[in-house]
Chains A and B, each alone.
Chain A
Amino acid sequence: MVSELSPRSWPLAVAVVGAFLVLPVRALAQDAEAEPLTAFDLLARSPQLGGTDIPRDLPGRATVGAPRRPRMPDATVPMPDLGRQSPLPAPELLRMESPVPSPSSELLAPASAEAAASVSEVPMGLPAPLTPQGRPDSPLSPLPASTTALLDASRSFQVVPVAVAVVPGLLFHGLAPALAGDGHTAKRLFAMEGAGLGLIALGGVPIALTGASRRTIAPLYAVTLAGFSVFGISALANLYSVASPAFDPGVPASSLPPLEFEMGYQYVSDTSFDYDHFVSLGAVARFEEVKLEAIARLAPDEGNTQVRLGGAYRLLGEPERRRAGSDGSSLDAELFGLFHRFPTEGFTVVGGDMGFRGRYAMSRVSPSLAGSFAEASIGMALQGYSYPGPVSDGNLHSQLLFSFGYGVWLGRGGGPFKGEAMLFYDHRKDGFAGGLRTLGGGVVGNFGLRGRALLTETWGVAAEFQAGGALVGRLSLIYALGGES
């Protein structure tokens, strides 16, 4: 339907969609506090658009209030006739009514009579967040068959929306889910795209008008980059929303090991430097709210050495040691020190970074984005350059730190396999990748893809690729201590 709009109608359409979202009315079936559906909601959910008002409560999805427990069908209450929109296929319902405990009915059984009473308030047919092993307070579990069936019933992989998500979906970010019949996600992504473009204009236009004035550049730059991050995240969410029905969404690991060591190899292709081969070392120690990190990159033949030490303090969200069913959203304050020696070029960098890093479960934006997350960071670095010999530089150089990315959780909640992968943009220019060497000089940072996964309780791999002014590739082996979850 959206595609039938003429090109000149797009700004109006975006504005209208944005207006619908100014006063966000969450769907009745998805909110703890029930509110009437808007006309747009009803239209977007209509079967004619392929939509459905069946909530898609997936593991990792944000919930409001106390977690809702699965409801046992009450034989005394007549089941509403949901027709073909029924969230639970008939065989599932039959199994739930069976007096013989089956694996699935065991999973759905309430823990107590009180729990049964409390969950009875949940509207009939709601697939409330599933709890593993029937324990309401346990971490999220892999998707049981009933939920898989539910997902299959409400979402199906379609080739055309995936293609549209690339062209012209990279420009029209809600188009792909709209074509797939997911109006809820579509309007959210259109709103995000509009917000991103708005922020870009809000920061970018004054930058142009002020000639990137030294007096105002820092906040304007931050706003502009925030706009690009929202725009980029909505573009990738657009693709993810229509590609994700092809696979089971991942969930955040319920806990990460208290101690990890990493060793690997890094290759850098940079025409401005002689170095290329690096030994990569790393360590992570996770406490309750505090995470300490140490990273070293050593070029044995050329002597280039980079050491980064620091940590993060969790301001919001569950600690990584015990995420216990949270959707992985978090906010950290970070502080790092940097030492980077360039023996061939004859200088050393010493400095510090400070900033904030946030991660947001995209299931909070739309259930169809479950299994993915957006990440952004902002901060500042202060650095000094030291030159051996008579050369002296007494300047303290500052740098705006900004990054954003769109990632997916790789694990499904069961077994030791846990991890994540993320496409990202990093604005910093003092790393091995540097910034892109563009027609505008060196303003733009670098892009990359990084992944990290524990394959067993103790062993895992990490890989990263970055493309800026240089190409950087890294592959590491991870050894975890205390990784049992």
Chain B
Amino acid sequence: MSRIGAMGVLSALLMTGCLRPAENRAVRDSKVGRAEGGGLSLEVADGLAAVRSVGSGEVTLWGNAPVFTARATLDAESTSDWVLTVRNAMPDAELLAELEDGEVLAVEPVPQALPTVKAWRVGLRPGAVARLRVAPPGWDSTAPFRFAALADVQEALPRVGDIYARLVKDDSLRFILFAGDLTENGTREQLLEFQERLEAGSRIPLYATLGNHETFSKDAEEYTTLVGRGSQSFVFQGVRFTVVDSSNGTLDPIVEEQLDGWLASSRQGTHVVAMHVPPQDPVGLRGGGFANRGESAGLVGKLAREGVDLTLYGHIHSYYSFTNAGIPAFISGGGGAIPETFDGVGRHYLAVDIGANEGLREASLVRVD
């Protein structure tokens, strides 16, 4: 009987795992940006940066948003001199450090060779709580801007420099919004290589969600450690960007609840939503979208009701322009993974002009090859 019971429990667990395959990642997301070391306790708001290291007077973060804040609590006995390094930062990012009472702390930039790596020497107050904000000038304006949408590099990682070289030619691009599948298998080595090539080749940062290929290794644990959350939301120049983890062809209920909050907070503003697996594959016979068409229809209907202005997807290695529930939608999976043939597209990215007041202005296909 005990064996039968064990089999039953195992079956139930397997079934539960099949029903909510993204649950662990959603739970893990909530821990991103939190770390302690060297007497410093750090908590990045909304998990918009991953803590790569903390201790001995140094903190290194991997930014996953152009603007983020962190709460730093320093022990009374700890050293006050700290160096904060933010990789994958906006090239013109600045650090503002202030105590809870509004007192501004001294910050000294530390020159770096790479444009997306920023470092500052900051004097924290032992025994006090400091609020750190990393953002470029004008981050809270409503001026229109341009960003690039890209997805699906995978096994083309050795050639991704071509895309960065093309991106460099457009000075107006502020950052890359990446809709998943950075690597082929999501291993630590592959993700580190992706980040090294990004820093070496790109002058702008890349903010990402994960793709199904990242889940191939330890259910994307390395992605969470090295890059950050799979589902998150940030605001830049009045435009809200939300990325959600759809890599299993579904949204976990935890993510859906978070999404509801992000949608409500930007109901009147411009809102871009990106995810890896599109809810609806425009080629229905292929069915490369969500696992349940009812779920996908419900999701895009909700996005439309909440006034989302643009949806961006990956997973399908080509370029598609369509609408879902009336929202302009683009699949831009031109990062170099096995390309869809006979489409006449090849490697590409999308250049998107958007503004807080104007909404989506233009989305242009930019060919790399």
Contact = CB atoms under 8 A, between A and B. Distances in A.
A115 to B, nearest CB: 54
Contacts of A345: 294, 297-298, 301-302
B325 A385 contact: yes
B223 interface: no
Contacts of B338: 208-209, 211
B183 interface: no
Contacts of B324: 393, 395
B123 interface: no
A341 B313 CA distance: 27
B298 A437 contact: no
B325 A391 contact: yes
Interface stretch (A73-81, A264-272, A285-293): A264-272
Main secondary structure of the interface of B (DSSP, over half): loop
Nearest to B280: A397
Contacts of B295: 272-273, 434, 469
A214 B344 CA distance: 12
Contacts of A441: 212, 247-249, 277, 288-291, 315
Contacts of A383: 293
A47 to B, nearest CB: 40
B364 interface: no
B261 interface: no
A392 B343 CA distance: 28
Contact of A437 (B248, B284, B287, B302): B248
A211 B340 contact: yes
Contacts of A391: 301, 304-305, 325-326
Contacts of A385: 297, 301, 325
Contacts of A339: none
B297 A438 contact: no
Given A347-B301, A438-B248, A439-B215, A398 B285 contact: yes
A15 to B, nearest CB: 30
B341 A470 contact: no
Nearest to B295: A272
Interface string A27-58: 00000000000000000000000000000000
Interface in B265-282: 277, 280
A272 B292 contact: yes
A427 to B, nearest CB: 8
Interface string B301-344: 11011000000000111100011111000000000001111110
Nearest to B305: A391
Contacts of A342: 294, 297-298
A136 interface: no
Contacts of B212: 439-441
Contact of B322 (A208, A347, A395): A395
A435 B291 contact: yes
A122 interface: no
B251 interface: yes
Contacts of B15: 467, 471
B223 to A, nearest CB: 14
A211 B318 contact: yes
A152 interface: no
A102 interface: no
Contact of B297 (A211, A271, A347, A392): A347
Interface string B56-93: 00000000000000000000000000000000000000
Contact of B249 (A398, A399, A438): A438
Contacts of B300: 393
Given A271-B20, A400-B287, A442-B289, A213 B301 contact: no
A31 to B, nearest CB: 42
Interface string A103-145: 0000000000000000000000000000000000000000000
A147 to B, nearest CB: 37
Interface in A374-424: 380, 383, 385, 387, 389-395, 397-400
A272 B301 contact: no
A17 interface: no
Given A271-B20, A395-B322, A442-B249, A436 B291 contact: yes
Contacts of B286: 212, 214, 217-218, 221, 400
23 contacts: A209-B341, A211-B340, A212-B340, A214-B286, A214-B318, A272-B295, A342-B297, A347-B301, A349-B294, A385-B297, A392-B325, A393-B300, A400-B285, A400-B286, A400-B287, A434-B292, A434-B293, A434-B294, A435-B249, A436-B18, A436-B291, A439-B216, A440-B249
Interface of B: 15, 18-22, 212, 215-216, 247-253, 256, 277, 280, 283-295, 297-298, 300-302, 304-305, 315-318, 322-326, 338-343
10 smallest beta-carbon distances between A and B, as pairs: A442-B249, A434-B292, A442-B291, A345-B298, A398-B284, A435-B291, A211-B340, A441-B249, A391-B304, A430-B293
